[in-house]
Structure 1
């Protein structure tokens, strides 16, 4: 491909170890957890009975649809007054008068009872409650101003009002409950399914299973996920091959194309509230949301649309809260690129922890991790975003594991400094395995508080095979499961942040724009033709047997991986063919057409039991006793910054930044609350939890020289700084002002 940058890599890497057929990954599925999921307190119910006989969630802060008592005290008094007949004989006129009065009063009582008790009760009853307390339709709350009852919660069959005022019917047969009250915007009473803990309940990692899906290609675009965006500029100058070049083309396309605002149009339409409702209804309880650094800021000539994607991430938080779905925030694209692939923002070279700008870009990246951590650790968001992937798919084989480990420890300290030590104080910190395999991370950061290991096992990027789909079904169980179980013990919490149903690399732009496929022998450097992609992409013609084979592959993959996020929820239509051209990567398309399971719990036991991890994890791994104390020998051996980095040399002679800039704190959402005739703004946090952390933003030193952050291989500037500049080794890192652990 003529416009492929030198040294560019495809979006996906093949196996790290050529001696293996599959990337190292781990699997297994506990088969003894279903009772625990339904009764997380060891057999006790999640629910408590409230007056009126209905069951509600015991831990709800504001119990949705709290039942009214059969009669109010006022009506009870009236019933007591008028229930006893008079025994004494009176004159006929008096008797008739009394009788008439009684009938009048009875009529009044009936009317009062009907409007104050029976009608609301019947309304709630018709809304429905299952015996376990799962509401099957909407519960109501009166608005303070109009007196009109607005539905704020419900389950299967209920009517949901979207942000724009339109409505739809919520279809969730798994006992999921949505909850959204504009006057209580941080209520965490929703749950995705009856077996998934509500957001205001504890998710027991190692016992409760992460069944998730990625929202790939939404706030961090990729050509094969949103092909129409890129097809439009297939003949552009330059050709759109990543979000960098896509943004350049859009910015130049102002006469009729709408300019860079086209990206916001994509944000508005590609993922909406309906997707979150559908995800919960599909039996999924987590989403992983990739986010690029330009959600925070851009510098220099970086063409990305700055800050706008953050606005839509805030919407994602609201929708996730509404449907009881937890978020894994994945820092997907770092300045300079951590892997050289198109999803990192710019296809080309690796410039984080590698090369002459590798240290400066790492400093800048740590600042962005700090800014995100401060926001999501706030009490308004921590229960919705309890998981933070700090760097997606770094190329550890290029950077070196030790150098990457020093970055990981520094990032861990930054995240913990934002929220504090202990369960509930900020998110799990998730480290990608860097394609080294989980076994190489056994024992990493002993004593750390809530860390997780991320792996991305794929079947499709190593040796290509023309075998039937049925020949791949057992591959996850034999290739991933045992290793996953081992790592859950040797490291702690493990999750597969990405996997798909692709058994080869067929699909438009799957490897990148214009890069072809290994399967058809059109990929750069590949001459062997394995077969034709035509039948793999003609998903409309797949017969039932083919769909069942893909279904079994999905179930076996889910069982082997235990905790997982499918890549990805949705693939957009090609503007050329008018249809999805990468069907193996779309969970939604598989649900609609019968090759993805409608209930992912059906995966349990598909690998035959084996030796699945039998949770829970050790208390120290989940923020319990002993968490947060890493031995000094470990912290000193992984001190930041590293002494040198590959392709750059000694840190002291490389360009670096100084912490003197102004931190761009992330903006919270705005919610208005109506009470009586007054309207106020809800407290949504200020974007910065640890007020004691007042270090500045890493920025240029005025007297020093810098290379382009995306420079690739080059010599450092010489001289690096003017004679009067402070020596590089004397420039301090920001001091982390720790806050005490919260109870």
Structure 2
């Protein structure tokens, strides 16, 4: 049931949405502070920054980062989920992906996150999670939504905040990118008929978040990951309407203003335009920036990487609050295997660079590292868990300030 236009306008004018610290989601802890002469007082301390990881390759597989698991699924020579489903057949693919969803991220992973100071997860998903949206000509695994529900409950029971990210859009928002769920020769998303499918996905997920207790710590919904930069309809049509559709759904459910989702957009710095062009005056949105020095025009020296990260700024043109939704410890492809940069012999430097990036990104709302885990042998630069286990990322993110003097 949709709310009337009047109720929608009333709702949207009062929306405040919510971010994790505003609900006390990042649990406080008692800390003893010295006040001189051997005395101390106890103060309640509430972290205010997102310190998160992406759950890459859970619901949208990127074969480059999980080659062993991809091969075990029977998909080893395929470029994307779409291709693997075609190869295995629908029933065989459904079974293979259910096994993957059961094993790639477990409750033990969530326990480690909590233990290591991770308070949020960004969960990339595809529109095919809402199976009614899949056309007969499209091929994706079925049954993922139940596993997303389970993940949401695991996170909520540990007070871990969730950013749910539309990573794979209908007909693909970028070419040759498995992160869209298909290795497509054409980015066919940028047309009204495909936007309509994405709106339905956003509305269905908004409804599920607000009516299913498992999603009680899901507070942010990202309308599109990494769009192409050359489509004039993206901001005035898709971005503007996506906002309205989400708020319309919340109005129809009588969601209180302080429980409304924070709606997230790629920031202007991504290069696809400024979302503020259609979001003037709205304080219930957030922005996403991806900071990969691997592909940045930076001098290829270790001091340059550190200095660049320490001095990094973002969020201009009122693109705030902003969270760095993706970043890593990966360096230029032409350098990454050289002795000066290879991971095993340069752990002290990678630890310092991690500290510099954390300090920079916490100038904003916080960060989500890409990704939680990878299967890249001894190369930990794309995997948070891998890097902690290698002794590069400390178990306590508070140590960042002592690792790099920015």
Fold-level similarity (TM above 0.5): yes
Corresponding residue for residue 26 of structure 1? none
Structure-1 separation of matches of 2:297 and 2:82? 31
Aligned to 1:263, which of 48, 72, 97?
97
* Structure number with higher helix proportion: 2
Corresponding residue for residue 453 of structure 1? 287
Q: 1:259 to 1:244 in 2, by over 3 A?
A: closer
Does the 8 A contact of 1:233 with 1:240 survive in 2? no
Corresponding residue for residue 596 of structure 1? 393
1:572 deviates by: 2.7
1:564 deviates by: 0.6
Corresponding residue for residue 326 of structure 1? 161
What is the TM-score normalised by the length of structure 1?
Answer: 0.45
1:325 deviates by: 0.4
Find out whether 1:347 has 2:187 as its counterpart.
no
Q: 1:46 to 1:242 in 2, by over 3 A?
A: closer
Structure-1 separation of matches of 2:53 and 2:342? 24
1:464 deviates by: 8.2
Corresponding residue for residue 427 of structure 1? 261
Structure-2 separation of matches of 1:226 and 1:264? 16
Corresponding residue for residue 196 of structure 2? 363
Find out whether 1:494 has 2:330 as its counterpart.
no
Q: 1:459 to 1:46 in 2, by over 3 A?
A: closer
Corresponding residue for residue 240 of structure 1? 78
Find out whether 1:406 has 2:237 as its counterpart.
yes
1:571 deviates by: 0.4
Q: 1:549 to 1:442 in 2, by over 3 A?
A: farther
1:195 deviates by: 4.8
1:442 deviates by: 5.3
Q: 1:598 to 1:413 in 2, by over 3 A?
A: same
Report the aligned-residue RMSD.
Answer: 3.3
Q: 1:259 to 1:213 in 2, by over 3 A?
A: closer
1:185-204 aligned within 5 A: 195-196=45-46
1:250-289 aligned within 5 A: 250-251=88-89, 259-289=93-123
**What secondary structure, in the 3-state scheme, does the structure 2 residue paired with 1:288 have?**
strand
Aligned to 2:147, which of 303, 312, 319?
312
**What secondary structure, in the 3-state scheme, does the structure 1 residue paired with 2:291 have?**
coil
Q: 1:475 to 1:439 in 2, by over 3 A?
A: farther
Corresponding residue for residue 585 of structure 1? 382
Q: 1:424 to 1:379 in 2, by over 3 A?
A: farther
Structure-2 separation of matches of 1:372 and 1:241? 27
Find out whether 1:293 has 2:131 as its counterpart.
no
Structure 2: which 5+ runs fail to align? 1-20, 33-43
Aligned to 1:533, which of 333, 337, 340?
337
Structure 1: which 5+ runs fail to align? 1-36, 48-129, 133-193, 198-207, 506-518, 520-530, 574-578, 610-743
1:4-23 aligned within 5 A: none
Q: Deviations over 1:294-331 (max 9, x none)?
A: 2111221212112x111111111111012110100011
Structure-2 separation of matches of 1:213 and 1:438? 24
Q: 1:603 to 1:242 in 2, by over 3 A?
A: same
Aligned to 2:217, which of 384, 387, 390?
384
Corresponding residue for residue 249 of structure 2? 418
Q: 1:435 to 1:242 in 2, by over 3 A?
A: farther
**What secondary structure, in the 3-state scheme, does the structure 2 residue paired with 1:290 have?**
strand
Q: Deviations over 1:66-124 (max 9, x none)?
A: xxxxxxxxxxxxxxxxxxxxxxxxxxxxxxxxxxxxxxxxxxxxxxxxxxxxxxxxxxx
1:337-736 aligned within 5 A: 337-340=172-175, 341-348=177-184, 349-353=186-190, 358-378=191-211, 380-381=213-214, 383-395=216-228, 397-400=229-232, 403-420=234-251, 423-433=257-267, 436-437=270-271, 440-441=274-275, 444-463=278-297, 467-478=300-311, 480-481=312-313, 483-484=314-315, 486=316, 490-505=318-333, 519=334, 533=337, 535=339, 539=343, 542-543=344-345, 546-562=346-362, 563-572=366-375, 579=377, 582-604=379-401
Does the 8 A contact of 1:333 with 1:343 survive in 2? yes
1:290 deviates by: 0.6
1:461 deviates by: 2.1
1:493 deviates by: 1.0
Corresponding residue for residue 49 of structure 2? 209
Find out whether 1:227 has 2:24 as its counterpart.
no
Structure-2 separation of matches of 1:535 and 1:244? 38
Does the 8 A contact of 1:382 with 1:425 survive in 2? no
Corresponding residue for residue 97 of structure 1? none
Q: Deviations over 1:198-217 (max 9, x none)?
A: xxxxxxxxxx1111110011
Aligned to 1:249, which of 87, 90, 104?
87
What is the TM-score normalised by the length of structure 2?
Answer: 0.79
Q: 1:425 to 1:382 in 2, by over 3 A?
A: farther
Structure-1 separation of matches of 2:94 and 2:179? 18
Q: Deviations over 1:119-140 (max 9, x none)?
A: xxxxxxxxxxx899xxxxxxxx
Q: 1:309 to 1:442 in 2, by over 3 A?
A: same
Q: 1:376 to 1:235 in 2, by over 3 A?
A: closer
Structure-2 separation of matches of 1:301 and 1:281? 44
1:548 deviates by: 1.6
1:554 deviates by: 1.0
1:232 deviates by: 6.2
Q: Deviations over 1:171-195 (max 9, x none)?
A: xxxxxxxxxxxxxxxxxxxxxxx85
Structure-1 separation of matches of 2:227 and 2:236? 11
Does the 8 A contact of 2:223 with 2:263 survive in 1? yes
